[in-house]
Structure 1
Amino acid sequence: MTLLLMAAGSGSRYGKLKQFDDLGPNGEFLMEFAIFDAIQNNFDQIVVITKKENVSFLEEHLSARLPKKIQLNVLAQELTDLPDGVTFTGERKKPWGTAHAVWTARNVINGPFVVINADDFYGQAAYRKAAEFMSSNTDAYALLGYTLKDTLSEHGSVSRGVCEVDGDNLKSVQERLKLVQKEDKVIDEDTQLEFTGDEQASMNFWVCRPSIFDKIESEFRLFLKDEDRIANSELYIPLMIQEMLQANEIEVKCIPSGGDWFGVTYASDKEKAMYSLKEKSDLGKYPAPIWN
């Protein structure tokens, strides 16, 4: 089983490369807690997608810490990584998007894999449930969901993908852009829609299959023929999965994670993240230091 971490962001709102900030009680990166949780649940391959200039540093940093039995691949997401027979001669500064980041790993992943953001903490239960799902399902995809009201911010509105489910089947994920808690309800100030807060929200913890690579490549070829999309858009992994779902190409389960989530989007999030990681270490949920 493989854990793929997307760590190619620029951290423009955070003020630095948050993927490599020392948030753990012994200077660990946030992604190291995700990697530890995955390894504890029998994941045996770690794939990190990052910027080209960070590959050597991150490869050296992680290879010195991870158990020798773990396969580590640190790959660069590059604008020049295009489908065979396709060329791009225009100008573009930002990456092609999260779907392209996943596609970057097409040559090193051969089985089921989990995709997460490297700058989010997902909780230990999520990796256990993902591992159990991959062990008992051969074809289905999955989304590990988080209770909507537990993902809100006390500092203002947030954007969240709110899940529509039928039993344990994911039907769709609708992006809501300005969610806030108001008394006992969650309101989307953009549309005035109300939610109970008990809905499942997507925090980009996906269980995927290698079939996603063909879908991304197909969409990427279309994307590169559209000058407007090249100039203004990106390829997003949730959209790829939703298109496959709506075309009845795949089945996607929505699994409540049963864990706590937090992210570090803004610099003000750092103190809370550091406190939470130290508290978990003090309670014995993680060794300190995390690698021995």
Structure 2
Amino acid sequence: MKRPTLLVLAAGMASRYGSLKQVDSFGPHGETIIDYSIYDAIRAGFGKVVFIIRKEFEDVMRSKFDEKLKGKIEVDYAFQDFDLTKFGIDKVIERTKPWGTAHAVMSAKDKINEPFCVINADDFYGADAFEKMAKFLNEEVKDSHMALMGFEIGNTMSDYGYVSRGVCEVSPEGNMESVTERTNIYYKGEGENRKIVFNENDVEYDLDPKTRVSMNFWGFTPRIFDICMELFPTFVEENADNPKAEFFIPSIPDYMVKHGLADFKVIPTSSKWFGVTYPEDKPIVQENITALIAQGVYPDKLF
């Protein structure tokens, strides 16, 4: 059986972070967050990594990853851009950024023919998540049965501003009933009164800290590309005049579940996610990585 592939979403411009965080250094020897994800993926048995990037990032990404990963895992690149013709859409729409995370996944459709896992480049997920996803992709996955890693929202927050999360409704059997992208989740209040809320249309709603959320850690088969290709033209048509509209990954599994095309297992993890949305997050990530090295979870030098 062919080993699963890791698809890394690394095309974002990091507007809130202020620099190209995909290649920023967090480990003691200049390791990026992606390095730790790839290290965990290799240990879990993944056979290939595909980076989704913008074409102008290619030289930087290759200089950062190609040599260090040579002989350890197969490496490939796919490009997210503004060309809609490769998705069967014969029109030009002016935008300042591409069409979102599901559009990024679609951009790898010619690079992947096996079960695969999607992750964000700037999120640190931990070894447990990769081990559980690799097991699922090797033993359970099929076109009608896919998965997401379900983190507790309370383990995924930033102290420095709002975050975006796919908020899940989970059935008693452990399957996703729905997932809704919430783009404005933040802490409100101080001390014992601090709570997690999200804002929609200027109304605040509370979120239980144990609510399961997607951190864009998905387990798919290539069937997902077909569904994206079916839905994307309509999305573009409906949002041609909305430069902020994004074709998010969670909308695809949500559609598949609601139309009986597949179920999605929510693989629970109690791991504490950490990532870099804001510059102030960086020292916290570095402290966490230093602690994990001290505990022997990672070697001092990865590659």
**CA-to-partner distance for each residue in 1:159-209, whole Å, 9 max, x for gaps?**
433221112111112344334366388442635544442221221111111
Query: Which of 79, 85, 90 is 1:87 aligned to?
Result: 90
Distance 1:132 1:224, change over 3 A: same
- The match for 2:6 is 3
Asked if the contact 2:151/2:270 (under 8 Å) is kept, the reply is yes
- The match for 2:131 is 128
* 1:97 positional shift: 1.2
* 1:30 positional shift: 0.9
Whole-angstrom CA distance in 2 between matches of 1:74 and 1:92:
23
Which stretches in structure 2 are left out of the alignment for 5+ residues?
A: none
Letter in 2 for 1:169: N
* 1:245 positional shift: 1.2
- The match for 1:146 is 151
Whole-angstrom CA distance in 2 between matches of 1:74 and 1:234:
22
Asked if the contact 2:22/2:121 (under 8 Å) is kept, the reply is yes
Q: RMSD of the alignment, in Å?
A: 2.1
* 1:143 positional shift: 1.0
Asked if the contact 2:84/2:90 (under 8 Å) is kept, the reply is no
Whole-angstrom CA distance in 1 between matches of 2:241 and 2:254:
19
* 1:84 positional shift: 5.6
Query: Which of 181, 187, 192 is 1:180 aligned to?
Result: 187
**CA-to-partner distance for each residue in 1:253-282, whole Å, 9 max, x for gaps?**
101123220110011111111111122122
Distance 1:246 1:31, change over 3 A: same
The reply on whether 1:276 has 2:288 as its aligned counterpart is yes
Letter in 2 for 1:131: A
Distance 1:186 1:227, change over 3 A: closer
Which stretches in structure 1 are left out of the alignment for 5+ residues?
A: none
Letter in 1 for 2:36: F
Asked if the contact 1:123/1:261 (under 8 Å) is kept, the reply is yes
TM-score of the superposed pair, with normalisation by structure 2? 0.88
* 1:134 positional shift: 1.1
Asked if the contact 1:116/1:205 (under 8 Å) is kept, the reply is yes
Identity of aligned residues (%): 38
Comparing 134-143 with 262-271, greater Cα deviation is found at: 134-143
- The match for 2:230 is 218
Letter in 2 for 1:188: V
Distance 1:89 1:228, change over 3 A: closer
Distance 1:10 1:25, change over 3 A: same
Whole-angstrom CA distance in 2 between matches of 1:49 and 1:112:
17
Superposed, 1:1-292 pairs within 5 Å as 1-80=4-83, 82-83=85-86, 85-139=88-142, 140-156=145-161, 158-167=163-172, 168-176=174-182, 177-180=184-187, 183=192, 186-188=195-197, 190=199, 191-226=203-238, 228=240, 231-291=243-303
Comparing 31-40 with 143-152, greater Cα deviation is found at: 143-152
Whole-angstrom CA distance in 2 between matches of 1:187 and 1:144:
20
Secondary structure class of the residue paired with 1:224 = helix
Distance 1:84 1:119, change over 3 A: closer
Matched residue count: 291
Whole-angstrom CA distance in 2 between matches of 1:87 and 1:230:
18
Whole-angstrom CA distance in 1 between matches of 2:88 and 2:162:
44
